[in-house]
Structure 1
């Protein structure tokens, strides 16, 4: 039986608003629609966490009261905290030292057990180190369930609701701009939209130093997008093009959003804005562009919106160029600033 509080909490997720982003990111009369997933209690991944847990329970993979164990850099952990309360499951998340203190404290306040790995894996970085610890914890807790957000197809399916909302709010979507980390929301939203609008153009936004689209792995400053592993949920065949964005470019966009539009967010929001704004400037006037903003600004007060942190990492007053660099294939050159690659 569902938890008696399920209907109350479930209604808090979804039906997120749209916000028009125009000048100064694009000339007067041009812009894009931002889907504000930060309006969910924990952000974009509330959708996936609730859906994955519900489906696992329905299939008998997750027994009543069993522990949920997962790797996360933050947002999916918040979603699992919500799912744990809704369905009455204890939750353990494995993270790394990059998790913001406010997120860790919130998770603990929600009753989540937080484990932090202390050393990156020599090949797979922090993500592989976290996943290795998840495997150890699953062995220590018989009957525990791992949602496996990186490879679980339920992650992709969860975002059909986001696509349906976009269609209700906008009608036809011609261009969809999404950050790419685990790959779930870009794949799920685009696939659902293309059932109705087969000419949809999907543009992925990755972080410099990420291996998802074939670039060499480097230490990454940005959290929430990019990866040092290769999640199976990334639907490479669905993307028309991909852009890599650098941290200083994302910081500039996030801060300019705050100053001019009030709706803003962290690394992913800034990076997506760089690319969606370029689309609004360069595509034919009237092109209907939607961009997914995964979360809001609150967890980034010690990074993106902290002048001391940004000065230490040389992130201030460095806006992106008017146009991205262009490469034809991922091994042509290493992206160190905003770079575009057309895939089809």
Structure 2
């Protein structure tokens, strides 16, 4: 960016936005670290892929990929606006993509977005539009999507990446799978949080080309509808959904776990205290499940867990004692074992539970 000298009494010059094609080099090649006790037994553990080392988190990969693909196909014209629904991480990725390719970005969120996240998105040049009421059936996510459709109708030519249903979303994570193979040599079990379904589907699909027998374990939130449980209000953001994203590859999962908010909080805090590496809701839930897998799978099983982001946006929630006490999140260590149900519709779960029957729920008519 060029800065012009000016006299103190003259207004600041208006500097035209220029695309920054050097920025994508900052995305990818994130490190892995071995996580053992207290999540796993002595001598056992799992490898965590630290996507917090991307500028905005894991969804930088997808945001850049879907934006570039839309531009190639001509559905996103040069300089046209981008609008999307987000709880935060995809918003950071799209703010990056907007700067890289020269597009104004509007992000539709809800009151649950952390103040820090909203301020950072604004600082990165995005407009943040907040819906005020949840949809009666689809919750905040559907309310946000309805608002996106309204904004698109008002401004023809505006493009929505539609991270829940865009097949370009999973394809954006192929590079992450390649990195895992380079770093670990082979992966036996891949553990991913599931929200839009993009990174679990995309990483697993590519990883199978290198490791044909790799198993995919999904981590969902209690109160999420993705795998057939009833949708309920949820504190946790970044995983789970009140709608059914098309990008979820149900056939790929060998099992799914649901984790409750207090369990994710305990796990995220245990990670921080024992090994410094941690994150928020998703990371806490993923680590809890990956640690159990490390304790129960045969010795030598190579488990890779994808940590989508870091801890910084969660200082007001997961790592805030007042918030956690107010919401009953400091209940102590979770159970050593998850509950097991035979089918996702057997009963509603309220604590950590797992199921090895994974099928696509019937979609509302």
Alignment partner of 1:233 is 2:286: no
- Provide the rounded CA distance (Å) in 2 between the counterparts of 1:195 and 1:239: 16
Partner of 1:267 in structure 2?
281
Partner of 1:113 in structure 2?
127
TM-score after normalising by structure 2: 0.92
Partner of 2:150 in structure 1?
136
Alignment partner of 1:253 is 2:267: yes
Q: How does 1:272-287 map to 2 (within 5 A)?
A: 272-287=286-301
Partner of 1:28 in structure 2?
42
Count the aligned residue pairs. Answer: 342
Partner of 1:162 in structure 2?
176
Partner of 2:203 in structure 1?
189
Between 1:5-14 and 1:77-86, the stretch displaced more is: 5-14
For the aligned residue pairs, the C-alpha RMSD in angstroms reads 1.0
How far residue 74 of structure 1 moved from its aligned partner, in angstroms, is 0.4
**SS of residue matched to 2:125:** coil
- Provide the rounded CA distance (Å) in 2 between the counterparts of 1:80 and 1:62: 13
CA offset digits 1:267-298 (Å, max 9, x no partner): 00000001000000000111000000000000
**SS of residue matched to 1:11:** helix
CA offset digits 1:51-104 (Å, max 9, x no partner): 000010011010000000000000000000000000010000100000000000
Partner of 1:87 in structure 2?
101
Tell whether the 8 Å contact from 2:237 to 2:281 is kept in structure 1 after alignment: yes
TM-score after normalising by structure 1: 0.98
**SS of residue matched to 2:191:** strand
What is the aligned counterpart of 1:341 among 355, 361, 364?
355
Partner of 1:300 in structure 2?
314
Partner of 1:14 in structure 2?
28
CA offset digits 1:216-255 (Å, max 9, x no partner): 1110110000000000000011100000000000000000
Partner of 1:222 in structure 2?
236
Partner of 2:77 in structure 1?
63
- Provide the rounded CA distance (Å) in 2 between the counterparts of 1:219 and 1:75: 20
Tell me, which stretches of 5 or more residues in structure 2 are unaligned? 1-16, 359-365
Structure of greater Rg: 2
Tell me, which stretches of 5 or more residues in structure 1 are unaligned? none
Structure 1: 4+ residue segments shifted above 4 A: none
Alignment partner of 1:204 is 2:224: no
- Provide the rounded CA distance (Å) in 2 between the counterparts of 1:6 and 1:185: 25
Partner of 1:177 in structure 2?
191
**SS of residue matched to 1:53:** helix
Between 1:194-203 and 1:68-77, the stretch displaced more is: 194-203
How far residue 40 of structure 1 moved from its aligned partner, in angstroms, is 0.4
How far residue 343 of structure 1 moved from its aligned partner, in angstroms, is 2.5
Tell whether the 8 Å contact from 2:236 to 2:261 is kept in structure 1 after alignment: yes
- Provide the rounded CA distance (Å) in 2 between the counterparts of 1:18 and 1:270: 16
